[in-house]
Amino acid sequence: MVAGLDEKLEPIYQEVLRRNPGETEFHQAVREVLESLGPVLVKYPEFADRKIIQLICEPERQIIFRVPWQDDKGVTQINRAFRVQFNSALGPYKGGIRFHPSVYLGIIKFLGFEQIFKNALTGMPIGGGKGGSDFDPKGRSDGEIMRFCQSMMTELYRHLGEYTDVPAGDIGVGQREIGYLFGQYKRITNRYESGVFTGKGLSWGGSRARKEATGYGTVFFTEEMFKARADALDGKTCVVSGSGNVAIYAMEKAMSLGAKVIACSDSNGVIVDKDGIDLELVKQIKEVERRRISAYAEEKKTARYLEDGNIWTVPCQVALPCATQNELNGTDAKTLIKNGVIAVAEGANMPSTPEAIRFFTEAGIAFGPGKAANAGGVATSALEMQQNASRDSWTFEHTEERLREIMVDIHRNCHQTSEEFGAPGNYVVGANIAGFVKVAGAMVAMGVI
């Protein structure tokens, strides 16, 4: 038997392993949720009787297709793309599209599975899904990226719709890619269906604060974890992994709330600036020039660049993993704890390994899991859908305030649920159970479908 699983859940997990061979990230995501659900089946035996857990672990639909396109030299390239429509009990499928060479079905299923519970926690009427391709946009021209996006959408469009499935961006997919994807959708369908994509440009249906939302939301959640312990983020030393969209705006909001961010990273290395990260320089390097983070040290002489370095060795009080899955392992967690970390919040999806989470929990560290702490992005996507449906446009301040309210509610829900189910302060248990119970209740109400 796998340690940590209730005996009633063990056969369900074994069946997931059997039916989804080789999909290690998906296995990890499923197990992490199942480990929290033992007490739920005691309180809600009807969920076991209706086989809700087995249903929720099986996607409603999995779409895999090839994407042929021509590069600038006229050479035909062939990629593989995916859309996993996991669960629509609460609303249309909602989840990003990722472009990265590591993408395969197991990654998309893990992300889609996490999205079910994350979306439920927002309180918005959205289901869970995810998509992506093994296409690598790095080093590609705008023309190549446009041709790839148009080819991908030529197949994908038939599976989308504002009441069916609403994608957004993710790693490798920003406003440029969303524009090309939406443009092709509009061209094929002959409909200006704004609500079919989120993360759009402000001039054509996008939401203010959407770009900032995931990073801001992660910090709002961190702030609430401190408040629950009668402490504050103000004055704390912070490190943020990554230097993409989530990391940049997590740094921005943390700084605005009084934290001192001293390190960030990319896939090549780590920047440490004891004077505090110069965020405008990071934005210039990453958002405008699209260069590696090593360029920061060339511009700022107070900074150290650690090629192939490990950001988790930098002493801090707050750690925000905002890069990618399983970037923070057990050894890293021990190092962070030894160096005085008191709070960790996940800005990325499943960036901490199960061993790391166990070490944080045992040490009494405030740990905010991704499905709660980084739900601000998808929450603001749902707000964008709201604005599109009403042909409205909100101010940045109004959208940010709605985001803060949602993150405060998510924290309260997770905190109260953890207490109700005998694990006070354990946000992993709270997030998993609160999200699951909401989705499971809707699934029971709709019958066997």
User: For residues 287 and 271, what is the distance between their CA atoms, to the nearest angstrom?
Assistant: 17
Q: Choosing from 43, 51, 109, 130, which is the catalytic residue?
A: 130
Specify whether the CB–CB gap between 107 and 34 falls below 8 A.
Answer: no
Q: DSSP secondary-structure letter at 350?
A: S
Does 169 belong to an annotated binding site?
A: yes
3-state secondary structure of 404: helix
User: For residues 241 and 225, what is the distance between their CA atoms, to the nearest angstrom?
Assistant: 20
Does 189 belong to an annotated binding site?
A: no
Does 236 belong to an annotated binding site?
A: no
Nearest 10 degrees: CA dihedral of 27, 327, 120, 64? Answer: -60
CA count, 13 A, side-chain hemisphere, 287: 15
Does 43 belong to an annotated binding site?
A: no
Does 214 belong to an annotated binding site?
A: yes
Counted residue by residue, the chain has a size of 449
* Structure tokens that stand for 106 in this block: 């197991």
**Any catalytic annotation for residue 130?**
yes
3-state secondary structure of 96: strand
* Structure tokens that stand for 227 in this block: 């408040």
- Alpha carbon separation from 166 to 94, 143, 281, 305, 384 (Å, rounded): 5, 25, 34, 39, 11
Does 381 belong to an annotated binding site?
A: yes
Binding site residues, as ranges? 94, 115, 118, 169, 214, 245, 381
Binding site residues for substrate, as ranges? 94, 115, 118, 169, 381
Binding site residues for NAD(+), as ranges? 214, 245
- Known catalytic residues are 130
